[in-house]
Structure 1
């Protein structure tokens, strides 16, 4: 049986488009599979829970109980994809915990496949955080996300050695539109009859890239 995926969306920096990515991926998985479970590990509002309350739970890793509670949920091979929107404040602690408890080995034993989506930025903290992940996460499971709205121009070379997932920038007025708490990417695809609109094409392009990522992960398992 294919492994149950756990997507960990992260960055050591705030305001790099993590929650937008988590929203897109969660809605894609919900559309494709009919089910997804998301975890919101954030301090700042609005967060993933505000956008997708029906599929999102809050999680904390400030103490041992919170860490174990989260890990108990994501380590289940139940066929339901998991998405973790990991706040920048929890970045170091999460991956320190992951290494200490042997999360990757335990996940493999239980047929669970963690995939790390690292939202890149051009600062030193991002470079250091990425290097830490390179040492801990297998190259096939570490995806750098190049959000053109955040990274203006070329992605720094330090991030381009492995796989890169690109999200093109939207005009400011469309960015404001999709930032509304009531906005749904899938609902827009279903109800906007003009498939040539810039937003329609942008959503479809991102959904297609997630599908390509899924297929590549499946091929790695075969």
Structure 2
């Protein structure tokens, strides 16, 4: 049976590497499947639309019309994986909407698998937001993301109890390099002849993380 994954990359805090994760995931899905549709819900630059304009649309969840348009696209079981880069300013409104319409159950009825990827930080806002998601989202589809470039130490204990993905920190000069507009992670893999470079290995590890996530989450969701 055809199943469509919808990845919601989110955080209640700014500057945690959320758009970086969304970029990586979008490029991985494009490489793997040949197609992907990404949605940019951000107010501030840089955003996903700046990095991947060919596969990204803007979306709005601050009014009823924008919410209806987005939800209609997300529950469409068309076989095209979706990636949402959800800005921190829209975090509360988006998940309030999800609770009101029981988005997870509605998606499952349409053979769509929502996967919530919460990019964590070490502040009270992030802790409260994560606890809210734990109450609202089934454990099998709530993934906590530990971006080690931003959070150098351990996450809150409660964040480590569920599913956790870790992305290793890059050196500062490489972290600056990958923020350049026009840089393609897949393009780097294809054109960099030396596969032993730190960035090459980091991208490959990141893609492997996404592959393993997809294989582990979707088979658990029976419809």
Matched residue SS, 1:215: helix
Aligned counterparts of 1:31 and 1:167: Cα–Cα separation in 2: 20
| Matching residue of 2:170 | 170
TM-score by length of 1: 0.98
User: Is 1:105 matched up with 2:91?
Assistant: no
Deviation at 1:218, TM superposition (A): 3.0
Deviation at 1:221, TM superposition (A): 3.2
Deviation at 1:129, TM superposition (A): 0.0
Deviation at 1:100, TM superposition (A): 0.2
| Matching residue of 2:11 | 11
| Matching residue of 2:42 | 42
After TM superposition, the structure 1 = structure 2 runs for residues 175-214 of structure 1, keeping only pairs within 5 Å, are 175-214=175-214
Asked if the contact 2:2–2:77 (Cα under 8 Å) also holds between the matched residues in 1, the reply is no
Asked if the contact 1:16–1:120 (Cα under 8 Å) also holds between the matched residues in 2, the reply is yes
Deviation at 1:62, TM superposition (A): 1.0
Asked if the contact 2:113–2:218 (Cα under 8 Å) also holds between the matched residues in 1, the reply is no
Aligned counterparts of 1:22 and 1:108: Cα–Cα separation in 2: 22
Aligned counterparts of 1:217 and 1:12: Cα–Cα separation in 2: 23
Residues 116-147 of structure 1: CA deviation (Å, up to 9, x unaligned): 00000000000000000000000000000000
Q: Which runs of 4+ in 1 moved over 2 A?
A: none
Asked if the contact 2:107–2:114 (Cα under 8 Å) also holds between the matched residues in 1, the reply is yes
User: Is 1:71 matched up with 2:71?
Assistant: yes
Aligned counterparts of 1:202 and 1:212: Cα–Cα separation in 2: 15
Residues 168-215 of structure 1: CA deviation (Å, up to 9, x unaligned): 000010011100001100000000010000000000000000000011
Matched residue SS, 1:115: strand
After TM superposition, the structure 1 = structure 2 runs for residues 142-161 of structure 1, keeping only pairs within 5 Å, are 142-161=142-161
| Matching residue of 1:122 | 122
Deviation at 1:153, TM superposition (A): 1.4
How many residue pairs get aligned? The number is 222
Matched residue SS, 1:95: helix
Residues 37-93 of structure 1: CA deviation (Å, up to 9, x unaligned): 000000011100000000000001110000001111111000000000000000000
Asked if the contact 1:2–1:221 (Cα under 8 Å) also holds between the matched residues in 2, the reply is no
Cα-Cα RMSD: 0.8
User: Is 1:80 matched up with 2:103?
Assistant: no
Aligned counterparts of 2:107 and 2:67: Cα–Cα separation in 1: 15
Asked if the contact 2:61–2:67 (Cα under 8 Å) also holds between the matched residues in 1, the reply is yes
